[in-house]
Chain A
Amino acid sequence: DGGITQSPKYLFRKEGQNVTLSCEQNLNHDAMYWYRQDPGQGLRLIYYSQIVNDFQKGDIAEGYSVSREKKESFPLTVTSAQKNPTAFYLCASSTRQGGNPYEQYFGPGTRLTVT
């Protein structure tokens, strides 16, 4: 079955440590996205990538970094510079050709807790 996987489901880190969240998709989608979800704030876009080796900052990119070396993978690093990293992180992807390019498919999410 095609889909998006995120691992791990729960992640715990000490303050001051960088942590990388995994996102893999086998939908052959070109575009991938990272969102942050906090209570009462909906989903906010962190970074997005339209094609391999290219990505753009979203609305809340400070303290985060990404890479897009493979079409299937879009890992997100939460750096120690992110002031409030504890949140639920969602990865999504969408096609750019055929289908509906505006419909995003989501992974199951990773809950990151930093203490």
Chain B
Amino acid sequence: AQTVTQSQPEMSVQEAETVTLSCTYDTSESDYYLFWYKQPPSRQMILVIRQEAYKQQNATENRFSVNFQKAAKSFSLKISDSQLGDAAMYFCADRSRDGGATNKLIFGTGTLLAVQP
């Protein structure tokens, strides 16, 4: 079974600093997608960034970027110039095809990020 592991239950960063959230995954598929979702206190899940496994270039969305290490099955999220609004729970997720027909997301347990002013 596919698994996604986030080994940091909680992280803290000073405003304007950079923080990296870790994620490792275990999949036997060759074609897969990885995601980082943000869940602020409102609990609305928001897609932060997406990485296609076949792309060698790391995805970037403004202050958010990933370090995708395919051989190591690692998919970390870097947040630069942290802002108070970045405080949230962050979930890493892996798309599972569950035998071919289905696009399911397998989620990690999340990392709670606090941003200190």
The judgment on whether A and B are partners is yes
Question: Which residue numbers of A lie inside 8 Å of B, CB to CB?
Answer: 31, 33, 40-45, 48, 50, 56, 58, 88, 90, 92, 94, 100-106, 108-109
How far does the Cβ of A8 sit from chain B's closest Cβ, in whole Å? 14
6 CB contacts below 8 A, A to B, read A31-B103, A42-B109, A88-B43, A102-B103, A109-B43, A109-B44
Band of interface residues on B: 20 to 34
B16 interface residue (CB < 8 Å to A): no
Given A50-B102, A102-B33, A103-B50, does the pair A40, B109 have CB atoms closer than 8 Å? yes
Across the interface, A100 reaches (CB within 8 A) one of B37, B50, B108, namely B50
A109 CA to B46 CA, complexed, in Å: 12
Residues of B within 8 A of A58 (CB): 104
> Quick check: A106 and B44 within 8 Å, CB to CB?
yes
Q: B102 to A108, Cβ gap below 8 A?
A: no
At the interface, yes or no: B45 with Cβ under 8 Å from chain A?
Answer: yes
- A42 contacts B108, C-beta separation under 8 Å: yes
